[in-house]
Amino acid sequence: MHYFRYKNNTLYAEEVSVASLAKQYGTPLYIYSARTLRRHIKAYTDALKGLPHIVCYAVKANSSAAILRLLGSMGAGADVVSGGELYRALRAGIPAQKVVFAGVGKTDEEIEYAIKKGILMFNIESLEEMENINRIAQRLGKRASVALRINPDIDPETHPYISTGLKKNKFGLPIERALEFYREASSMKNLRVVGIHKHIGSQITKVTPFVDALKRVMVLFDNLKQEGINIKYLDIGGGLGIQYNDENPPHPKELAKRIIPVIKGRDVTLIVEPGRSIVGNAGIFVTKVLYTKEGVDRRFIIVDGGMNDLLRPSLYNAYHHIIPVKRRRVKKVFADVVGPICESGDFLAKGRELPSVSRSDLLAVLSAGAYGFSMSSNYNSRPRPAEVLVDGNKHYLIRKRETLNDLIRGERIPEHLRG
Ligand code: LLP
């Protein structure tokens, strides 16, 4: 659910016309709806009401300072995967005690930074990482709180690039050997074992993989208890899907209904790490038609937004609805919507049925709030787009469009190459 709707055939973000935002801020442009963000966070907190819990928003989905601030102000914590994300979360006012840190390749500097800030826990992904965190904590004279990320070997039935909980994936520690790893962790003087973590993938549209994975983890949880290892935090990761096209993903309420009984009776705080389901449908990407042309066997709509701005179609062949900002009664055409980047893989849609458009028309790419701007780049030396947050009838620039100067910031030309 979101608040991007037509009124009199003109697309609105909440109470603000998208065309007026494009005019004021230019294109390509990301627009987010604050009301949608609030609604999505609330969906989780309401669903989990019966249980001590923390919603650790997955910062990678969209790491905008304003969005982090908004979510943090509603009580969200953060799931971070780098020192950079930790920095962003803390700067946005999210308390370190609500931050969990995942990722297979944490560097010494990142580990030290997180220990010094006193995060809730590291989600450890290998034995060597465990030893390293212990060593760094010892050097700092601290104890680091940790969870082990368990790979439950469950197929989330999603795109192979975003499935993470299978044996063949690089993530986590195999569940078969989990007990042994936990014993090891508990014996390390500068670690405090506080949690279990799992995350099986992203854009999951069924409840069953979550439940199956959780059941496996709960067996481990109970075994650990018998060994005297008490787990305070049960982190079940993120991954709940959203509707891009015709998917019918479960509501957090349905997920909660099925997982709460599996956890019941244990004295534990549940952590969830949703990213996409919070921001995905809270954002659109607005792009302007530059040209249209007829190829030999297809029509091309060339727009000013490309794969550097929104990579998902190119990288995953992901589907995003594309709709006109002004709805008119015109004939429909089949077309490839492509960007200006010099790569054949630069497209937003292929063979898509769209109302015919002409130069300067605006198109809105829906469900672009998650893994949109956060995966953008400067490829082809394109300044990255502006981002705007709409709240009711107000709108705020939350990130300036990059300038040509931004492109070369930090670059140096060695003296001997200067003329
Ligand atoms: N927790 C962990 C440990 C993760 O690795 C991820 C996502 C999440 C939480 C959040 O998952 P979500 O609720 O957003 O599904 N770039 C891809 C998605 C990659 C997801 C990586 N991990 C895409 O555009 O589809």
Per-residue model confidence as pLDDT tens digits over 351-372: 999 999 999 999 999 999 999 9
Listing DSSP states for 308-376 in one string gives: TT--HHHHH-----EEESB-----EEEEEEE-SSSSTT-EEEEEEEEE---TT-EEEE-S-SSSSGGG-
Percent of the chain with pLDDT over 70: 97
Q: What is the mean pLDDT of residues 245-252?
A: 96
The overall average pLDDT reported for the chain is: 96
Q: Where are the domains of the chain?
A: 4-31+280-407, 34-276
Tell me how far apart the alpha carbons of residues 206 and 217 are, in angstroms, rounded to a whole number. 18
Confidence class of residue 297 from pLDDT cuts 50, 70 and 90? confident
Q: Which atom of ligand 1 is nearest to the CA of 203?
A: 15
Digit-coded pLDDT (tens) for 215-231: 999 999 999 999 999 99
Which one of 55, 60, 80, 255 would you pick to mutate in the ligand 1 pocket, going by the greatest count of ligand atoms within 8 A of its CB? 60
**Alpha helices (runs of H) in 92-154, residue ranges in sequence order:** 108-117, 127-140
Strands (E), 161-280: 173-174, 191-197, 233-235, 269-272
Strands (E), 8-97: 10-13, 16-17, 29-33, 53-58, 77-80
* Domain covering 34-276, topology: TIM Barrel (3.20.20)
Q: Which atom of ligand 1 is nearest to the CA of 202?
A: 15
Say if CB 208 and CB 171 are below 8 A apart: no
pLDDT at 166: 66
Kindly report the number of other CB atoms within 10 A of residue 391's CB atom: 18
pLDDT at 41: 98
Say if CB 381 and CB 308 are below 8 A apart: no
Q: Is 50 exposed, middle or buried (0-12, 13-18, 19+ CB in 10 A)?
A: exposed
Q: Which atom of ligand 1 is nearest to the CA of 371?
A: 24
User: How many helices (H) and strands (E) are present in the chain, helices listed first?
Assistant: 12, 21
Tell me how far apart the alpha carbons of residues 21 and 16 are, in angstroms, rounded to a whole number. 8
Centre of ligand 1 to C-alpha 20, Å, is 32
Centre of ligand 1 to C-alpha 104, Å, is 14
Q: What is the mean pLDDT of residues 92-106?
A: 97
Q: What homologous superfamily does CATH list for 4-31+280-407? A: Lyase, Ornithine Decarboxylase; Chain A, domain 1 (2.40.37.10)
Centre of ligand 1 to C-alpha 15, Å, is 30
Please work out, in degrees rounded to the nearest 5, the angle formed at the alpha carbon of residue 391 by the alpha carbons of 388 and 394: 80
Kindly list the catalytic residues: 342
Percent of the chain with pLDDT over 90: 93
For the cut 70, the answer to whether the pLDDT of residue 93 exceeds it is yes
Digit-coded pLDDT (tens) for 302-351: 999 999 999 999 999 999 999 999 999 999 999 999 999 999 999 999 99
CB distance 273 to ligand 1 below 6 Å? yes
Taking the whole predicted model, whether its pTM rises above 0.85 is answered as yes
CB distance 276 to ligand 1 below 6 Å? yes
pLDDT at 172: 86
Secondary structure of residue 216 in the 3-state scheme: helix
Q: Is 167 exposed, middle or buried (0-12, 13-18, 19+ CB in 10 A)?
A: exposed
pLDDT at 1: 66
The residue with tokens 């935002």 is 21
Confidence class of residue 162 from pLDDT cuts 50, 70 and 90? low
For the cut 70, the answer to whether the pLDDT of residue 160 exceeds it is no
Confidence class of residue 161 from pLDDT cuts 50, 70 and 90? low
Q: What is the mean pLDDT of residues 86-99?
A: 98
The residue with tokens 């995966």 is 375
CA dihedral 350, 352, 355, 356 (to 10 degrees): 40
